[in-house]
Amino acid sequence: MTPPLQRRVGHPGSRILSVASYRPRTEVGNEAIADLIDSSDEWIRRRCGIESRRRAAPDEDLVMMATAAASKALADAGVDPYDVSAVLVATMSHRGRATTTAPLVANALGATQAAAMDLGAACAGFPYALATADALIRSGSAGYVVLVGTERMLDIVDERDRGTAFLFGDGAGAVVIGPAQTCDIGPVVWGADGSGSELLRYDEAGILRMAGPEVFRWATSIVPDLARRALDAAGISADDLAAFIPHQANMRIISATAKALELGAHVRVATDITTNGNTGAASIPQAMAALPDTTGPALLVGFGAGLSYAAQVVILP
């Protein structure tokens, strides 16, 4: 008779201990991009709400930016890198042929005992990875988890593509997640619609192409319902929220969802897109870090290529 296998003892819940962000040194206004796509600052602001974004320099690669954000998050959490069980990196812009980003980040952090893996769910990558980290901790498979969203979108965007050039920025955002006696990371509500995968895709040269109007219609149709389902799964209402932190894809999507949820004036709505652009998998943690004085329940919603989507309620540290 085969003996039963032992199982690890997990934790009742998990929580976000700290949040940090890395923003590249160079800021690029709309004028510089508008000249390349035969457009204007006014058109860009009206179309998506972006005024400027950050562009990474050659020395600001995915690993450097991720490590900078994660190092600050670890210091703020008071967690030694040696005690980290897993490093998760959400990214859609890694272009290496073999090596994934996470092992390099773990090595740079000094997290020598940690498992490390990339998670590719495009702009939904952060909530996907957050749900993974929560499950690892509650199952006992991990103690502390470092989760980073990091993107160099300039590597995968055509600067003359009128549909994408003005939207994206570069940067990284990180959180440290640890065990908790209460559930401070709510149940994830997620899914994917592969039938729409051609709406956001890479061409033969590895450049991102997007059917903008179709993606906009898809997002505005799915995000409000996804947000409501995440609130229901967490057992709270929109009135209980302190913040709404969606993927920073387009100000019109953010505003339409906030209106659909009938968010009260007390709810802080993240609008980091204004001066940071769409930073892919980094956008939610960067937007979270931009609300340093906000604590309590926050609704996170991610959506993007795949088409993938995910949402959950968390308690901000």
Q: What is the predicted pLDDT for the residue at 117? A: 97
Please provide residue 128's backbone torsions phi and psi, each rounded to the nearest 5 degrees: -60, -50
Residue with tokens 């929560």: 134
Q: What is the pLDDT of residues 51-74, one digit of tens each?
A: 999 999 999 999 999 999 999 999
Give the percent of the chain with pLDDT over 70: 99
Residue 94, classed as helix, strand or coil, is: coil
Q: What is the predicted pLDDT for the residue at 228? A: 98
Residue 247 falls in the annotated catalytic set:
yes
Q: Using 70 as the pLDDT threshold, list the residues of the chain that sit under it.
A: 97-98
Q: What is the predicted pLDDT for the residue at 98? A: 65
Residue with tokens 């996470």: 102
Our CA dihedral for 53, 58, 63, 66, rounded to 10 degrees, sits at -30
Q: What is the pLDDT of residues 79-121, one digit of tens each?
A: 999 999 999 999 999 987 667 999 999 999 999 999 999 999 9
Residue 123 falls in the annotated catalytic set:
yes
Q: What is the predicted pLDDT for the residue at 99? A: 76
Q: Which of 30, 250, 276, 278 is catalytic?
A: 278
Q: Which of 183, 247, 250, 276 is catalytic?
A: 247
Give the burial class of 196: count Cβ atoms within 10 A of its Cβ; 0-12 exposed, 13-18 middle, 19 or more buried. middle
CA distances (Å), origin 186, targets 117, 154, 164, 179, 235:
23, 33, 33, 14, 9
Give the CB-side neighbour count of residue 222, counting CA atoms within 13 A: 22
Q: Which of 48, 123, 183, 276 is catalytic?
A: 123
Residues 102 and 116: their CA atoms lie apart, in Å, by 5
Residues 41 and 44: their CA atoms lie apart, in Å, by 5
Give the burial class of 110: count Cβ atoms within 10 A of its Cβ; 0-12 exposed, 13-18 middle, 19 or more buried. middle
Q: What is the predicted pLDDT for the residue at 205? A: 87
Q: What is the predicted pLDDT for the residue at 257? A: 96
